[in-house]
């Protein structure tokens, strides 16, 4: 049985919805309290058994590589000043035994193209894809861990899905499934996936969100997928071709998703994570409770 040990994290996007802050800073480095979005995604992957993180980057994303690299000058200063707690935090952003690989996406040709850029590193193995924009809290077993458990049963590609309002189907890839509904913690065979359909054309109200487990066969279909109307190779188009040859399952995960690719979702996540933060959570919650809104 093949294990999932590699995860692709596409981080080459420009983050235009967050300009001007993303003019000089990767959107994946935007903080939720005291950790950047990309670290939450990396931690989720590692907790799910991933040992190699493959970052698909662009020329403006050096801060991500620096974040996961050692900073000997900072570590030396923290050690000299006796700030051992902070030193341990900096040294253990990722645990030992987890490697990071960086591959360049030279042209912004879409999510499918970004995943395809990782082909040579992934090789002939099933792998995960995590989008840092989708921040997910899931209790003791995170979203990707749940999906890995499903993969161990079905040995096929798995998509994380959640229900959305019919009015929002044009924001997502929408799956068609062989059941009319999926209960939390269950999965169903995917019959189609359509990128951002109009409500009247949506095959269901289940949206594919930023967690995937894919078989390496997806690379064949991405290589042979033509660019869409906006000049991009869509991952959903590759998956829609893959499911004609192999089973692809849609899994309704336990957990709460924050769309941190939108300003409202990002602010919501910041507030809710701030309320739960072990250092400042109680004081921040009290501040919010005492806040008078005109």
pLDDT tens profile 21-62: 999 999 999 999 999 999 999 999 999 999 999 999 998 889
- Is the predicted pLDDT of residue 216 greater than 80, yes or no? yes
Residue 289 domain-assigned (yes or no): no
Share of the chain above pLDDT 90, in %: 88
Check: CB of residue 175 under 8 Å from CB of residue 241.
no
- Please give the average per-residue pLDDT across 105-120, as a whole number: 95
Residue 194 pLDDT exceeds 80: yes
Residue 125, CA distances (Å) to 9, 69, 120, 122, 128 in order? 16, 26, 11, 6, 10
Which range has the top average pLDDT, 54-63, 193-202, 212-221?
Answer: 212-221
Among 61, 229, 230, 237, which Cα is nearest to 132's? 61
Closest by Cα among 225, 212, 235, 194 to 156: 212
Contacts of 260 (CB under 8 A, 6+ apart): 30, 32, 37, 132, 133, 134, 135, 266, 269
294 part of a folded domain: no
| 229 has pLDDT over 70 | no
Give a yes or no: residue 281 inside a domain. no
pLDDT of 108: 86
The answer as to whether 55 is a domain residue is yes
Q: What is the pLDDT, as a whole number, of residue 70?
A: 92
* 274 within domain boundaries: no
- Residue identified by tokens 């188009």 is 237
More confident residue, 154 or 138: 154
Q: Please report which confidence band the pLDDT of residue 64 belongs to, taking 50, 70 and 90 as the band edges.
A: very high
CATH number at residue 188: 3.90.550.10
Q: Is the pTM of this model over 0.85?
A: yes
Backbone torsions φ then ψ of 69, nearest 5 degrees: -95, 165
Residues 6+ apart with CB under 8 A from 263: 17, 18
Residue 149 above 70 pLDDT?
yes
pLDDT in tens, 265-279: 999 999 999 999 999
Confidence of residue 2 (pLDDT cuts 50, 70, 90): confident
Q: What is the mean pLDDT of the chain?
A: 95
Using pLDDT thresholds of 50, 70 and 90, give the confidence band for residue 123: very high
Distance CA 53, CA 209 (A): 19
- Domain assignment of residue 220, given as a range: 6-261
Average pLDDT over residues 164-191: 92
Which pLDDT band holds residue 227 (cuts at 50, 70, 90)? confident
- Whether 1 maps to a domain, the answer reads no
**What integer pLDDT is reported at residue 120 of this predicted model?**
97
In a domain, 293, yes or no: no
Residues in Cβ contact with 253 at an 8 Å cutoff, skipping those fewer than 6 apart: 136, 138, 143, 146, 147, 160, 161, 162, 184, 185, 211
Total number of domains constituting the chain: 1
Domain presence at residue 93: yes
């Amino acid at each position: 049985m093949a294990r999932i040990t590699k995860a692709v994290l596409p981080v080459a996007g420009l983050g235009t919805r967050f300009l001007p802050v993303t003019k000089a800073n990767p959107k994946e480095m935007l903080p939720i309290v005291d950790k950047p979005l990309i670290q939450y995604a990396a931690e989720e992957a590692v907790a799910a058994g991933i040992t190699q993180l493959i970052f698909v980057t662009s020329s403006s994303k050096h801060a991500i590589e620096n974040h996961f690299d050692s900073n000997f000058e900072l570590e030396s200063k923290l050690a000299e000043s006796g700030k051992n707690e902070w030193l341990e935090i900096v040294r253990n952003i990722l645990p030992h035994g987890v490697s990071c690989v960086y591959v360049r996406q030279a042209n912004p040709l879409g999510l499918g193209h970004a995943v395809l850029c990782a082909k040579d590193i992934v090789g002939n193995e099933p792998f995960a894809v995590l989008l840092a924009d989708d921040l997910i809290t899931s209790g003791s077993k995170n979203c990707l861990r749940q999906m890995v458990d499903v993969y161990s049963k079905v040995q096929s590609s798995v998509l994380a899905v959640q229900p959305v309002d019919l009015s929002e189907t044009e924001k997502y890839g929408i799956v068609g499934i062989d059941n009319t509904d999926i209960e939390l913690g269950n999965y169903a065979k995917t019959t189609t996936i359509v990128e951002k359909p109009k409500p009247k054309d949506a095959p269901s109200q289940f949206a594919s969100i930023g967690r995937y487990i894919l078989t390496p066969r997806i690379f064949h279909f991405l290589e042979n997928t033509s660019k869409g109307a906006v000049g991009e190779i869509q991952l959903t188009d590759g998956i829609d071709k893959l499911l004609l040859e192999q089973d692809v399952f849609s899994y309704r995960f336990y957990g709460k998703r924050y769309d941190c690719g939108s300003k409202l979702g990002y602010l919501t996540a910041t507030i809710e994570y701030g309320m739960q933060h072990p250092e400042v959570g109680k004081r921040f919650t009290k501040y919010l409770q005492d806040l008078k809104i005109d």
